[in-house]
Copies of this chain bind each other. A is one copy, B any other.
């Protein structure tokens, strides 16, 4: 009664958005943030209000106090996309309090929550406060694969009932063969083993990334590696990240300037987002060497 299975986390978010948002609504959204979720929420015509993030995640103190009526606050607490920081426990509590006080629903997207290294877990906000103003989104796109199209939302019975009713007249139900196959994979313990295997694999790639960077002038500029499969390199040069990314692409190195994920033009374009999940250790080592040389030449 408190969980709905959907065609991925974005689908679940779309259902909530369709039920509650229109062109008169506003949603607070991490900036930089996950572009697809921003597009999905904006599809309803709602205004997206950018809120800055720092090393503790969303700056809860920046949420509007000027009477802007928000419907939702969207956050990625486990691994802020794309900075890779976690929402601190203190911020989680502050956001929950703020949500209760202002009667605003928190969309907790547990993005990359399964891939966490060396650090202790933090409780999801959905678990911190029974019947709190939180709807939690999970996906099997990262732990399994995106074309499986399986995700879910957990929330109040009333909300899940509304989502179920709405989804029934929009695409009826989620493919049951995939659900049965995944359920069997979970029940026989293989899913947990698979996630552990992938966590070890990604941890090894991350170690390789850290080692490669430690040997360059970029040492100390790598952040966001406590979880997930992407990290951030801060640039201390005056050249924009977009410029660096363009030069890198010519050498076959694909990195993304942070500005690609920013809504507000005031966020400095001074960092590169590196995805390391799908590249080999050899590619990581060689790529970081070339990238450092490009930044050196540009600086």
In the complex, A289 has a CB within 8 A of chain B: no
Indicate if A196 sits at the interface (CB-CB under 8 A).
no
Residue of B nearest to A7 (CB): B171
Q: Does A177 contact B (CB under 8 A)?
A: yes
Q: Which residues of the other chain, B, contact A36 by a CB distance below 8 angstroms?
A: 169, 172
A170 at the interface (CB under 8 A from B): yes
Is A283's CB within 8 Å of the partner chain B?
A: no
Docked Cα-Cα span, A169 to B9, in Å, equals 11
Closest CB in chain B relative to A12 CB, distance in Å: 9
Q: Which residues of B contact A174 (CB under 8 A)?
A: 149
Q: In the complex, A148→B36 CA distance in Å?
A: 26
Question: B39, A177: Cβ atoms under 8 Å?
Answer: no
CA distance A175 to B5 in the complex (A): 14
Please tell me if the beta carbons of A149 and B169 are within 8 angstroms of each other in the complex: no
Bound complex: CA A8 to CA B172 (Å): 8
Interface pairs A-B: 3 shortest CB-CB = A11-B171, A147-B176, A7-B171
List A residues at the B interface (Cβ < 8 Å).
6-8, 10-11, 14, 36, 39-40, 43, 146-149, 166, 169-178
What are 28 of the A-B contact pairs (CB < 8 Å)?
Answer: A6-B171, A7-B172, A8-B172, A10-B169, A10-B170, A10-B171, A10-B172, A11-B171, A11-B172, A36-B172, A39-B169, A40-B170, A43-B166, A43-B169, A146-B172, A146-B173, A147-B173, A147-B176, A147-B177, A148-B177, A149-B171, A149-B172, A149-B173, A149-B175, A171-B171, A175-B175, A177-B177, A177-B178
